[in-house]
Amino acid sequence: MSIVSIIGATTWGITIGRLLANKGAAVAIWTRTEARARELNKGLQQYPTNPAFIKNITFTSHSDKALHNADFAIWAVPAQSLRHTIQQIANHIAPSMIHVSLAKGLEADSGKRMSEVIAEEIPDTASDQICVLSGPNLSQEINRGLPATSVLAAHKADIARKAHELFHAPNFAIFTSDDIIGVELCGALKNIIALGAGMVDGLGLGDNAKATLITFGWAEVTSLGLALGARPASFYGLAGLGDLIATCAGPQSRNHYVGREVASGRPLAEVKAAMSNVAEGIDTTVAAHHLATRLDLEVPIITLIYRVLFESLPPVEITYRFKDGLKPEASV
C-alpha cells in the first residue's frame, strides 16, 4: 500500500485524495489550519457508503504527520504559493520521496515551472524524482465518477511507472510522457487562452470568434513552448489540446469564468475576491507575457489578454481586433 501526502486541501488536491484513497492508498492531506482539518475530517462522514475511503484518508495541519513515511508528496497548492509552502514544511521531506506537481501555472515573478520550483527548494531531491500530472481534469466530473484521462510526465521510466501505478484507475486513465517541460507548459498556458475564450463569450462575439481566438492563441502558446524547450507533440496531445478544449468549453472552468466576468465589465480584483478558488491563468498571463518579451516572440493574443487584465484596456477592444484580423497592436 502506497503512503501518500497531498500538500494542499484545494479542490483538485481533495479530488485526487479521494481517488487514491478509493484505490487503497493511505492518504494524508495537509491543510493550512487545524480548523480546516477538523472541518474536512468531519465532512468525511458524508461518505458512509464507502468505509474504506473514510479509513484511508485523513486531513491534518501538522506537516510532520502529513509527510510521515510518505512514498509520494503530491503538491496541490496554487502555483504562486508553492515556493513558500515548500519552505514551510521542507524539514519533513525525505530524499526518497517521489514528488508530483498538480498545479497548472507558472510563477509570476520568475516565469518558472512548478517542477523547477520544487527542484530549487528541495535540493536533496533528484530532478528525476519530480513528476507532473496534467490533462483535461475537471474536478466536478471526476468526483461524479465520470471517465477522465491525464498525462503523467517524468524523466525516468521507473519513476513514471511507480506514479502510473499510483494514479491509474478504472475511470482515470493515465498516459505517460518524458516531456516534463511540454506537459507543464501546456497545463499552465492553456489557462491564458481560456481567459481569452471567456472574454469572447462575455462580449457575445459568438463561437466563430472564439474558435479563431483559441486557434491563433494556441499557435502562440506552442511557439512559446518550443522556445522554452518543449516538444511539439505535447501541444496536440491530452495535456495540450485535450486540456485546452475542456478549459475553454465554459461553465466549469475558473479561467473561462474570470474572462467572461471581466469582459462583462467587472474589475478583475472584484472577480478574484469573490472566488473561493484560484484561477491560475491570471498570474500565468504575467509570466507568459514577460517570457515572450524576453524571448522576443510576437504573441498578439497573449498580449491582448494581458493588456485587458493588467493595463486597463477596455475588453471591447477585442471586438475591434477581430476586425483587424487579430494583428499585433495595430488597432489598439
**Helices (H) then strands (E): counts for the chain:** 16, 8
CA distances in angstroms from 17 to 8, 24, 51, 207, listed in the order given: 10, 11, 15, 36
Rounded to whole angstroms, how far apart are CA atoms 291 and 227?
10
CA distances in angstroms from 213 to 156, 201, 238, 296, listed in the order given: 36, 11, 20, 21
Rounded to whole angstroms, how far apart are CA atoms 10 and 14?
6
At what angle are helices 300-310 and 254-263 packed, to 10 degrees? 70
Cβ atoms of 185 and 175 within 8 Å: the answer is no
- Active-site residue, 190 included: yes
Residue owning grid cell 521510466: 157
Q: Please choose, from the candidates 135, 133, 139, 184, the residue with its C-alpha nearest in 3D space to the C-alpha of residue 287.
A: 184
112, 190, 272, 327: which is the annotated catalytic residue? 190
Rounded to whole angstroms, how far apart are CA atoms 34 and 197?
39
Cβ atoms of 58 and 28 within 8 Å: the answer is yes
SS3 percent helix, strand, coil of the chain, rounded to 5, is 55, 10, 30
CA distances in angstroms from 225 to 137, 148, 202, 279, listed in the order given: 21, 25, 28, 21
Cβ neighbours of residue 137 closer than 8 Å, sequence gap 6 or more? 12, 148, 150, 243, 246
Cβ atoms of 255 and 279 within 8 Å: the answer is yes
Residue positions annotated with a catalytic role? 190
